[in-house]
């Protein structure tokens, strides 16, 4: 059984951008082409995480992290940008197999995080 929320989601969708880095390669004459970012515009609903989730997961999530509801299938580790802030996609929800809408947690990318 699959739940159909696509119509409801359409009402609350906002634009966001998927950023994927294409690996560097050597072209036909042997010149190395450096890696470049490929930006893909997408639509989805990005919501703040509830207080219950941020407290129950032992401080893993902060108030800067978000919840993404979209019809696009993301991979764990994808980077998305919304309103000038970048987030890393985490896929740990079993809900995606029961609905036509996918649910992901977005962890805010900080410039102060260790590399």
Selection from 42, 23, 41, 43 nearest residue 33 by Cα: 23
106: which strand partners?
A: 66, 89
**What is d(CA 103, CA 88) in angstroms, rounded to the nearest whole number?**
13
pTM over 0.85: no
Please list the alpha-helical segments (H only) found in the chain: 6-12, 51-56
| Count of residues in the chain | 115
Per-residue pLDDT tens digits for 16-67: 999 988 888 898 998 998 888 889 999 998 888 876 666 665 667 777 888 8
State the pLDDT confidence band at 115, using cuts at 50, 70 and 90: very low
């Amino acid at each position: 059984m699959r739940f159909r929320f696509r119509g409801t989601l359409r009402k609350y969708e906002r634009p966001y951008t998927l950023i994927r880095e294409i690996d560097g390669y050597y072209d036909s004459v042997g010149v190395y082409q450096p890696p470049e970012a490929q930006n893909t515009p997408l639509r989805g609903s990005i919501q703040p995480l509830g207080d219950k989730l941020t407290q129950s997961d032992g401080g893993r999530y902060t108030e800067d992290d978000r919840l993404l509801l979209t019809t696009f299938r993301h991979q764990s580790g994808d980077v998305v940008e919304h309103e000038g802030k970048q987030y890393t996609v985490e896929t740990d929800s079993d809900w995606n197999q029961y609905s036509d809408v996918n649910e992901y947690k977005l962890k805010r990318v900080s410039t102060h995080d260790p590399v």
